[in-house]
Amino acid sequence: MVDKQVYFLVTVDGDLRMGDVIQQRASVEAMRSIHADLGIIGKTTWFINEIDFMWSEQYGDLLLSLADSGETIGMHDHLDTNFAVSYTEIFALMRQSRQQVAEFFANAGREVHLLAHRNGCFQQSKAAYRAAQELGYRWCSDVWPQTALYARMVCDKEMPSPWRRLDKDEGGILTDNSMVPLNGTPWRHDTHNWLDFTSTRGHFLQVPVTCAPFIEWNRMRVAIDGAGERAFLVLDTHPYDIQNFETGAIDPRKVSDLASDLRRVSEELDAQFIRMDQVPSLWPSLAVG
């Protein structure tokens, strides 16, 4: 147990990078089963990668299941996979992905407000945040404190496992968040100051990532200790985290490990599992920009 309120956000990036379509669907369903067993269905946040995986066309039933069970639905735009750099390119891609998912929900008779956004590989830029603001996003989760990451996802469709991440010497893009303290505290920002962790004003509410793709207990303890009266911890996961890297099948050991860690979060930290849309009301000073 800890002596302050801990809020825990289980977020899932909707990247389906492993296996065939049947195995990809199984990975989403297995992730949902973990959440169901822990009693946190309706308390998670899913960032949908429409750009690369066309959820609205190929996985529409899964999208409806997420919405109907009360999860927060956001967008996860991997601009890096399209080598989009300029504002014009970025805006066009982000507008298309958001429009496709919004139209899917509207045609299905669902009222889903797409207000949450996460860039692919945690990448940040003025152009990306400008596009996000103009498209109506309000909540972001891109900053990964105390990390510096080189990454770009690319796909070679001729390979058995086509998706891979480019590192520093291969053309990966640097995202440097090493100057941001790990203290489990959200902040507000505009298109130009996303690393100003002391800011309390701005269009976006930034809820920084604590761990990815698995729980790191040392990082979580540091984040809790550095927070004020309440700590907001974010776990960034993916459906492929519980698949076998060689076969694409669901890996029972990985499923068990993730479920065990999440159960430990509940029991040892007495954490309250929440969605992204609930953060503003739980942190009143940042509720409005």
Q: 34-45 pLDDT, tens per residue?
A: 999 999 999 999
Residue 160 pLDDT: 58
Residue 264 pLDDT: 97
pTM over 0.85: yes
When the pLDDT of each residue in the chain is averaged and rounded to a whole number, the result is 95
Looking at 24-33, 107-116, 156-165, which range is the least confident one? 156-165
What is the mean predicted confidence (pLDDT) over 163-172?
Answer: 93
Contacts 24+ apart (CB under 8 A), 276-280: 276/9, 276/11, 276/45, 276/72, 276/74, 276/116, 276/139, 276/141, 276/207, 277/45, 277/72, 277/115, 277/116, 277/139, 279/7, 279/9, 279/139, 279/186, 279/205, 279/207, 279/232, 280/139, 280/205
Give me the domain span that covers residue 112.
Answer: 5-286
Residue 273 pLDDT: 98
Percent of the residues in the chain that have a pLDDT greater than 90, as a whole number: 92
Residue 38 pLDDT: 97
Residue 161 pLDDT: 72
pLDDT over 90 (residue 162): no
253 or 161: which leads in pLDDT: 253
Looking at 17-21, 137-141, 180-184, which range is the least confident one? 17-21
Residue 3 pLDDT: 84
Query: How many domains in the chain?
Result: 1
Unique residue bearing structure tokens 């100051």: 193
CATH number at residue 247: 3.20.20.370
